[in-house]
């Protein structure tokens, strides 16, 4: 009798063990369950290609694709930002997310664990390094060099294969804070590390922010970039694949690629001549518009100079347009569109600047308040609010830009800061720090004249 009881318990143990293993392989959530839940949850990282906030707008190459997809299937989009690279698969298989959108390359290894959508982009890996006399031109030259990459990434796998191919050791390292590829690119640009690897599409965007980078050395053949799904989500994959096959051929997708990767090519090369003794070709408009708001017109002109070099047809990252570089979601609120006249563009810019200045009424010093305004115009007020909260946390003066909040704006590019609970808008890798100081200096220069 005792032997039978022990045998029975043993069978139960095996049964429960099997159930646990099945649970780790993923749960059965497909399109029907997602519709019932009422939201499509995407797992993203805080990066330019995945998801970020800029000037008050939710952005990201992948986010915008999936935003179109969610509207196509009529299910609201929910965003879950993932900080630890090892959590993407866990959250997906546990049902905490339905799609991974992290600029991931399709690989045979990962195909054993998750499913992939049709590719929405094709790119290759490149070496990220600084320009100089000893630029690495061939992967073979990486022998005994230290290359920092993100753990469990396609870049880590590529480097291990490359060692085999060239018959030489490459010192592959990662950082404990698990920075994303974009953070590692920042470290290269700022002379903190020598090398990292990135997909060429992200590298191209980063080079616009950091002209000292060299991204010319290829590290792989072209790869498929796709979204990750649970293997059980077969209906979701089917409808997503159908959508992507059509979407890749659409004008909307072509426009999306231009806004993220090819926007500089969209700026016409017209030359707008400035009369001798004038600041810009639009001085009279600046004077007229600024007077209506009680502002010094030279401040308004300094913003336009920094934004577009007085080109009313300029195009910028993410679809920013015109003299004042309005974002597509912001411009219409101020009656400014890509084809608007210079006067309309300038009037809209002045209205936005005046609105931001009023929002910073708690800043007592007028010059400091102007710098908060400029930083908010450049980055969006949400990121500056984050920096102000960080300044308070770290014992700095939250009502002084110079040497205080400005310092924390720069810290928002570092994972250990932008992943803090007090940071609501995530990473900020722009140049609000230098933007505010350079525009204010230009204003002071013109004011002195």
Q: What is the mean pLDDT of each run of 10 residues along the chain (449 residues)?
A: 48 44 61 95 93 87 97 96 89 95 86 92 95 90 93 87 90 90 93 95 88 94 94 96 97 91 60 76 96 97 95 88 92 94 97 98 97 96 96 98 97 93 92 94 89
Q: What integer pLDDT is reported at residue 173 of this predicted model?
A: 94
Parallel/antiparallel/unpaired status of strands 57-59 and 52-54: antiparallel
The answer to whether 181 and 47 are in contact (CB under 8 A) is: yes
Whose CA is closest to 281, among 295, 292, 270? Answer: 270
- Alpha-helical segments (H) within 97-179: 108-111, 154-166
Domains of the chain: 2-121+226-260 (3.40.190.10), 125-220 (3.40.190.10), 283-448 (1.10.530.10)
- Residue pointed to by tokens 């950091």: 210
What is d(CA 441, CA 100) in angstroms, rounded to the nearest whole number?
44
Cα–Cα distance, 230 to 236 (Å, whole number): 9
User: What string of H, E and C letters represents the secondary structure of 37-105?
Assistant: HCCEEEEECEECCCEEEECCEEECHHHHHHHHHHHHHCCCEEEEECCCCCHHHHHHHHCCCCEEEEEEE
Distance from C-alpha of 420 to C-alpha of 391, rounded to nearest angstrom: 13
**Predicted local distance difference test score (pLDDT) of residue 26:** 55
- Where helices occur in 211-326 by DSSP H, the ranges are 234-247, 251-260, 283-293, 297-308
| Buried residues in 259-281 as b, exposed as e (16+ CB within 10 A) | bbbebeebeeeeeeeeeeeebbb
- Return the axis-axis angle of helices 283-293 and 297-308, rounded to nearest 10°: 130
């Amino acid at each position: 009798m005792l032997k039978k009881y022990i045998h029975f318990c043993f069978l139960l143990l095996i049964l429960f063990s099997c159930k646990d293993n099945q649970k780790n392989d993923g749960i059965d959530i497909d399109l029907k369950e997602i519709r019932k839940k009422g939201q499509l949850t995407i797992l993203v990282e805080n990066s330019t290609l995945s998801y970020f906030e800029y000037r008050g707008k939710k952005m990201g190459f992948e986010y915008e694709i999936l935003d179109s997809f969610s509207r196509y299937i009529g299910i609201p989009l929910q965003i879950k930002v993932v900080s630890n690279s090892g959590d993407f698969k866990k959250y997906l298989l546990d049902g905490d997310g339905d799609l991974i959108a992290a600029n991931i390359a399709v690989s045979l290894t990962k195909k054993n664990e998750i499913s992939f959508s049709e590719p929405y982009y094709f790119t290759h890996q490149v070496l990220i390094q600084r320009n100089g006399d000893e630029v690495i031109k061939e992967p073979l030259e990486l022998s005994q060099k230290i290359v920092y990459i993100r753990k469990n990434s396609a870049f880590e796998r590529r480097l291990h294969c490359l060692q085999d191919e060239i018959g030489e050791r490459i010192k592959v390292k990662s950082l404990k804070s698990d920075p994303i590829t974009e953070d590692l690119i920042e470290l290269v640009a700022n002379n903190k590390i020598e090398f990292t690897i990135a997909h060429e599409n992200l590298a191209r965007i980063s080079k616009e922010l950091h002209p000292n980078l060299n991204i010319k050395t290829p590290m792989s053949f072209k790869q498929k970039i796709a979204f990750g799904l649970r293997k059980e989500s077969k209906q979701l994959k089917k409808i997503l694949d159908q959508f992507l096959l059509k979407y890749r051929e659409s004008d909307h997708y072509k426009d999306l690629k231009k806004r993220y990767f090819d926007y500089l090519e969209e700026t016409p090369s017209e030359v707008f001549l400035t009369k001798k003794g004038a600041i810009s070709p639009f001085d009279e408009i600046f004077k007229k518009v600024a007077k209506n708001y009680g502002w010094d017109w030279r401040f308004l002109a300094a913003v336009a100079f920094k934004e577009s070099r007085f080109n009313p047809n300029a195009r910028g990252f993410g679809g920013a347009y015109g003299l004042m570089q309005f974002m597509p979601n912001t411009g219409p609120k101020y009656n400014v569109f890509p084809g608007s006249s210079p006067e309309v563009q300038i009037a809209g810019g002045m209205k936005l600047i005046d609105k931001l200045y009023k929002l910073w009424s708690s800043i007592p010093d007028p010059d400091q308040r102007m710098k908060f305004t400029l930083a908010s115009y450049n980055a969006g007020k949400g990121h500056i609010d984050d920096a102000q909260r960080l300044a308070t946390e770290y014992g700095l003066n939250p009502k002084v830009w110079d040497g205080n909040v400005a310092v924390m704006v720069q810290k928002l590019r570092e994972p250990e800061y932008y992943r803090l609970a007090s940071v609501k808008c995530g990473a900020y890798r722009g140049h609000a720090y230098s933007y505010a100081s350079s525009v204010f200096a230009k204003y002071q220069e013109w004011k002195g004249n």
